[in-house]
Amino acid sequence: MQSKNMNGLHLGIIMDGNGRWAERRGLSRSRGHEAGVRAIRPVVEAAAASGIGTLTLYAFSSDNWRRPAAEVAALMGLLRSYLGREVDAFREAGVRLSLIGRRDRLPAGIVRRIAAAEAATADGAALHLRIAFDYSAREAILAAARLADFATDRDAFARLVAGDEAPDLDLLLRTGGEKRLSDFLLWESAYAELVFTDRLWPDFGEGDLAGALAEFHGRNRRFGGLSPSAQAA
């Protein structure tokens, strides 16, 4: 099997299962989302320790606006408190924080807090943590298409879709047992390895991440070509 250097790895996680985690315990869905937020820090710490360069977490899709107003409001509140609570720890750990997705539909106070958190952690070099919030990959591709011209090549178009500093996704991990991409990083996932786990996100931890990375490490990534052994044959 081809080996993979973990330095610079781009890992994307669809954090799924908060609601079911809460329902199985007789709790409200909001309590499940709170547990999901608590699960983020140990995974971020483990990702940085594993040499991952970029970690993109799918927190709120553009389609999630269809959920009940009370649940959406709770998620907004959790984002606001998360940004305020974690910035100092991120700065000390060298974690750079960015949010991707639309901001025009978010409350003004949250938008200001996002900008402040991004500015405060801009020099972080240990890990680039990206939170996808009010995010749609199809909307990102459509927006890029509006900006592109006939002379735009694939690399230039990729920069329009994902920005200059977002590498292609190496590993896409989804918790909660579902096996779909749900409009997450569709362009960037062209050659991503996919790992699906039944573990609900609030229960996902360092050991689960290590297992996913070990599975990734053991895969033979050919990117449409042949493996070295096949080329030598």
| Catalytic residue annotation | 16, 64
Q: Are 58 and 12 in contact (CB under 8 A)?
A: yes
Whole-number Å distance between alpha carbons of 167 and 164: 8
Q: 């991952």: which residue's tokens?
A: 52
Helices 69-93, 108-120: crossing angle, 10 deg rounding: 20
Q: 């080996």: which residue's tokens?
A: 3
Whole-number Å distance between alpha carbons of 124 and 89: 11
In angstroms, what is the C-alpha Rg of the chain?
18
Residue type, 8: G
Helices 29-38, 69-93: crossing angle, 10 deg rounding: 10
Nearest alpha carbon to residue 188 among 56, 43, 46? 56
* Structure-block tokens of residue 5: 């250097």
Whole-number Å distance between alpha carbons of 98 and 223: 28
Cβ atoms within 10 Å, residue 26: 7
Dihedral over alpha carbons 105, 107, 108, 110 (to 10 degrees): -110
